[in-house]
Chains A and B, each alone.
Chain A
Amino acid sequence: MYRLSDFYRLSAALTGYQEVELQGTGVGPVYCQTLSKWVRQDVIEALYAQAEQIGALDNDTNQARFYDQIWNSAKLGPVARNIIKMWYLSIWYQLPADWNALYGVDDFSADKPPVEDYVISSNAYIQGLVWNALGSHPMGAKQPGYGTWAFPGHTAKTHNLD
């Protein structure tokens, strides 16, 4: 079982994108499933619970707690960072073997071998947040039209950064 609403809420804090922007990519459910495929459910639950307890990261105290309890946690930090990479780059990076031994799903069998890093899907590649963040489009998709490269680079949307 996975909780999509929790996943979006946490993802918004981690990526710097609003929940509605993440939902608009259409790949949230696939990412949520991908997380469950590689990380034990109790670890995911712990991550959601910890993030919920800390709350919004709009002040120094909460941020300090976030670094202490999630980012620098040997158990939760790697998961949080993988979620960000998944959203920005559409790639699931394999976690280190020693982490997997402790917190990874325990049935690395048949359909879940400890494979190499992989692009989650072609649509995920196209929806990668990094392209929007750098003020362009995914290479090979969402083409902007003839001659647009001659215009000054538009500034990535920063309205929610302040």
Chain B
Amino acid sequence: MTHHHNDYDVVIVGAGIAGAIMAKQLGEQGKQVLILEAGTGTDGRFFDQGKEQGYESYMERFFTAMAKIPNAPYPNNPNAPQPLVTDIQKPPLDKPVSDHGYFVQYGPDPFASTYTRSEGGTTLHWLGTCLRMLPEDFELQSRFGRGRDWPISYQELQPWYEIAEQHIGVSANADVQNYHQIDNPSVQLPFEENYNYPMEQIPQSFLDQYLAKGLQGMQVNIDNQTYPIDVVATPQGRNGMPRGDYRPVGAVGNPDLGQRCAGNSNCVPICPIQAKYSALKTLEQAKQTGNVTIETQAVAYHLAVDDNTQNISKVHYKRYHSSDSAAFEDKAVTGKIVVLAAHAVENAKLLLASNVANSSDQVGRNLMDHPTMLTWGLMPCKIGAFRGPGSTSGIPSLRGGAFRADQAAFRIEIGNWGWSWPEGAPIATVPDLIDKHGLFGPALRHKIAEEYPRMFRFGFLVEQLPDPDNRVTIDDQYRDQLGNYRPVIHYKVTDYTRAGMAQAKEVSDAIFQRLGVEPFTQYKTSDPGYVQYQGKGYVYNGAGHLVGTHLMGKDPKDSVVNRDQRSWDHPNLYLVGCGNMPTIATSNPTLTMAALTFWAADNVLNALDQY
């Protein structure tokens, strides 16, 4: 760790994946970098498995947690509070607000996604899905008259996708991921010739193989056009077998065997052997440059602006001593350049609290997620549920197409862990077998053995459009114990997305019928994510994909950053993270965010040359 002073080349707010990539890239070029992280640190536990207070302590917390939710392993910290899925409620009809947990929700629909405020950020609990966006995802407005166009194209982002995939260590095969085997030109991806991922594709689960066989040749009809249904392996930021001499960073295990995924079936919320990528790996590389300092327990709360230059002159932060007490020191630091990498919601909050970068009035607006609808049932035979990574394949054939003029596109995720998401199986369901069905002894054991390996579920990640009314705001009434703002959220799921959910349900029904899956899907009106479309009910969940809030564009009047990811208003302020993305489309956003951040780091390096 370098000496701590008060004047840096670059001050980065946030030690998640975006902040880590930025720091590593800058540190490698000899720039002096400070990262301010609101959450607690991991005290080097990533590379020190043996420590009592090390990574294993996260596992201990997870094992003994009653609700094994995404943030279960990661301690709640009242000085840097985080949203939890168990906090999500339907905003009450008679009152304008649901004030439960960290988010303050005004609805009309609940925002159901969460993130982690800790060193390593939400990559501590992500699934590792690393899909590229489709070329048409960058041009929704010009192609379909919906949403917005990006100020950059797929072709421009492509080299950065490659850098991000190499860095994360994505396991996949390019000749599979270009989707040329799918008879739908809209979804086909132009990969660079001879490009391949750093690691071989993770083996597809037995369930994936069963589905692929059963769905061969299947088509569905949307708006008088037929679309294929194809099962394709999903690229994953999880250690497979390395290609050539590629070696992933810092996983435990035998390096000659590729330090690979061992099938812990626990990618979300935590991979015990760290075979899955997390930003802690990149942070370690950043620290090894000798030029990057990470100050944890440091919550940035105000950006001061120089009136003459409009540059960000200081980053003010509260440095608390422990998560047990609200005592803090008020500190400030300067950097030639300031980079906000604190997360889509936290970036917006900080900008709003500082009243900066918002001449467009778009800060905090256009919050998007993938409302994720589930369907579940029992397969006619055992498909080996509850094994392997959370999802090893999906059905990407409906990620694009002409229908996007009228309804949302969606990606189908094939879940390997039975009914764990929709029903909490097995932990939450076995008590019913005993209490309600009176099963015990061999009959109980037999019932579990015969039924649970047949449990099956789909997840439909449905597209949402940028909507200025879906937004993060701040309100003096709502603050945390350090006196910082809590995010106030207004959110709704529009008919465009609901139509996509309805379409997804139809596709699911057709697949269930074709395969003889006994349906168990139930959308309860009491569920917080219950919505209706054309008289039918559906339920969405959060995907943890928080996008928008400071989106990039061509015009300073309707966007927050330019294509360089620099604030239109402040020459030395860069924003990174999913908040920059003008549309969410159908891919999990982390890979795209990582690619954009590598690009942004290049822009920051170029800008530093001017100082």
Chain A residues packing against B (C-beta within 8 Å): 13-17, 57, 67, 71, 80-81, 84-85, 88-89, 91, 93, 116-119, 121-122, 125-126, 129-131, 133-137, 139-141, 143-156, 158, 160-161
1/0 contact string of B277-320 vs chain A (CB within 8 Å): 00000000000000000000000000000000000000000000
Instruction: Let me know if B446 and A140 touch, CB within 8 A.
Output: no
Number of interface residues, chain B, beta carbon within 8 A? 56
Contact A84 B444 (CB under 8 A): yes
Q: Is chain B's binding surface mostly helix, strand, loop or mixed?
A: loop
Chain A residues closer than 8 Å to B1, beta-carbon distance: none
Determine if B434 and A81 form an interchain contact, defined as CB atoms under 8 angstroms apart.
yes
Known: A16-B446, A91-B66, A130-B448. A136 touches B265 (CB 8 A): yes
Output the least CB separation between B68 and chain A (Å): 8
Nearest-neighbor residue (CB-CB) of A137 within chain B: B265
B63 and A119 contacting across the interface, CB-CB below 8 Å: yes
- Cα-based distance from A147 to B204 in the complex (angstroms): 8
Distance from A11 Cβ to chain B, minimum over Cβ atoms (Å): 10
CA A133 to CA B431, docked complex, whole Å: 14
Q: A16-B443, A89-B431 are in contact. Are A149 and B263 (CB under 8 A)?
A: yes
- In the complex, the answer to whether B204 meets A150 with C-beta atoms within 8 Å is yes
23 contacts between A and B (CB under 8 A): A15-B444, A93-B431, A119-B66, A130-B430, A131-B426, A133-B444, A133-B445, A133-B449, A134-B453, A136-B387, A137-B265, A137-B387, A144-B263, A146-B203, A146-B261, A147-B263, A149-B263, A149-B416, A151-B206, A154-B384, A155-B382, A158-B449, A160-B442
For A130, list chain B residues within 8 Å (CB): 426-427, 430, 448
| Inter-chain contact B442/A153, CB cutoff 8 Å | no
Is there an interface contact between B445 and A17, defined as CB atoms closer than 8 Å?
Answer: yes
The stretch that binds A, out of B138-146, B266-274, B489-497, is: B266-274
Residue of A with least CB distance to B209: A150
- Apart from A126-B63, A139-B417, 12 more pairs, CB < 8 Å: A16-B443, A81-B435, A89-B431, A118-B64, A129-B445, A131-B386, A134-B385, A139-B265, A143-B263, A143-B272, A146-B257, A155-B449
Q: Is B262 an interface residue (CB 8 A)?
A: yes
A121 to B384, CA, bound (A): 27
- Is B384's CB under 8 angstroms from A152's CB? yes
Report whether B263 and A146 are in contact in the complex, using a CB–CB cutoff of 8 Å.
Answer: yes
Do the beta carbons of A134 and B66 come within 8 Å of each other?
A: no
* With known contacts A89-B431, A119-B63, A143–B264 Cβ distance under 8 A: yes
Tell me, in angstroms, the Cα distance from A125 to B426 when the chains sit together: 12
| B438 proximal to A (CB < 8 A) | yes
- Whether a CB of chain A sits under 8 angstroms from the CB of B198 is no
In the bound assembly, the distance between CA atoms of A145 and B383 in angstroms comes to 18
Q: Is the beta-carbon distance between A85 and B431 smaller than 8 angstroms? A: yes
B66-109 contacts to A, CB under 8 A, are 66, 68
Q: How far is the CA of A135 from the CA of B447 in the complex (A)?
A: 12
Asked whether A143 and B63 contact (CB < 8 A) given A81-B435, A93-B431, A149-B206, the answer is: no
Q: In the complex the two chains form, what is the Cα distance from A16 to B447 in whole Å?
A: 11
Q: Is B59's CB within 8 Å of the partner chain A?
A: yes
**Contact A14:B441 (CB < 8 A) given known A130-B430, A136-B387, A140-B63:** yes
A97, chain B: closest CB distance, angstroms: 17
Closest B-chain residue to A67, C-beta based? B438
Q: How far is the CB of A95 from chain B (nearest CB, A)?
A: 12
Interchain nearest-CB distance for A93 vs B (Å) = 7
Query: Within the assembled complex, what's the spacing in Å between the Cα atoms of A89 and B438?
Result: 16
CA distance A117 to B263 in the complex (A): 29
Contacts A125-B63, A149-B203, A152-B384 known; A135 to B445 CB distance under 8 Å? no
User: Are A16 and B427 closer than 8 Å at their CB atoms?
Assistant: no
Q: Say whether B203 contacts A71, CB under 8 Å.
A: no
Q: Which of A118, A129, A136 has the most CB of B within 10 A?
A: A136
Docked complex Cα distance between A119 and B427 (Å):
11
B263 near A148 with CB under 8 A, answer yes
* B205 and A122 contact, CB distance less than 8 A: no
Contact A153 B453 (CB under 8 A): yes
Q: Determine if A144 and B59 form an interchain contact, defined as CB atoms under 8 angstroms apart.
A: no
Report how far A122 CA is from B72 CA in the complex, Å.
13
Chain A hits for B387, CB < 8 A: 136-137, 144, 148-149, 153
**CA gap between A15 and B448 in the complex, in Å:** 12
Contact, CB under 8 Å: B206 / A150: yes
B538 interfacial contact with A, CB 8 Å: no
B40 within 8 A of A: no
B388:A16 contact, CB within 8 angstroms: no
Give complex CA distance A152, B264 in Å.
Answer: 17
CB-nearest residue of chain B to A71: B438
Judged by a CB distance under 8 angstroms, whether B364 is at the interface is: no
Residue in B266, B430, B438, B442 whose CB lies within 8 Å of A88: B430
**Residue in chain A with minimal CB distance to B273:** A143
B204 touches A143 (CB 8 A): no
Question: Which residues from A are CB-within-8-Å of B263?
Answer: 143-149
Of A125, A131, A147, the contact of B64 (CB 8 Å cutoff) = A125
Identify which of A80, A91, A130, A134 gathers the most chain B CB atoms within 10 Å of its CB. Answer: A134
CB-CB under 8 A from A121, the residues of chain B are 64
Rounded to whole angstroms, the CA-CA distance of A141 and B273 in the bound complex is 10
In the complex, what distance in Å separates the CA atom of A101 from the CA atom of B444? 30
A133 proximity list for chain B (CB < 8 A): 444-445, 448-449, 452
Q: Which residues of A contact B261 (CB under 8 A)?
A: 146
Does B27 have its Cβ within 8 Å of any Cβ on chain A? no
CA distance A148 to B384 in the complex (A): 10
Is residue B260 contacting chain A, with contact meaning CB distance below 8 A?
A: yes
- What is the chain B residue whose CB lies nearest that of A146? B260
Other-chain contact of B62, A57, A118, A140, A160 (Cβ < 8 Å)? A140
* B385, B392, B417, B449: residue with the most chain A Cβ atoms closer than 10 Å: B449
Given A81-B434, A122-B64, A150-B203; A139-B441 close (CB under 8 Å): no
B440 touches A16 (CB 8 A): yes
Q: Which 10 pairs of residues, A with B, have the shortest CB-CB distance?
A: A153-B384, A149-B388, A122-B63, A156-B449, A16-B445, A134-B452, A140-B266, A143-B262, A16-B442, A133-B448
Closest to B447 in A: A133
B14 at the interface (CB under 8 A from A): no
Most buried by B among A15, A67, A148: A148
Choose one: B205, B266, B441; the contact of A150 (CB below 8 Å).
Answer: B205
B442 touches A161 (CB 8 A): yes
A15 touches B203 (CB 8 A): no
Instruction: Identify the closest chain B residue to A119 (Cβ).
Output: B64
Contact B386 A136 (CB under 8 A): yes
Q: Nearest Cβ distance between residue A84 and chain B, in whole angstroms? A: 5
Note all chain B residues with C-beta closer than 8 A to A141. 63, 264, 272
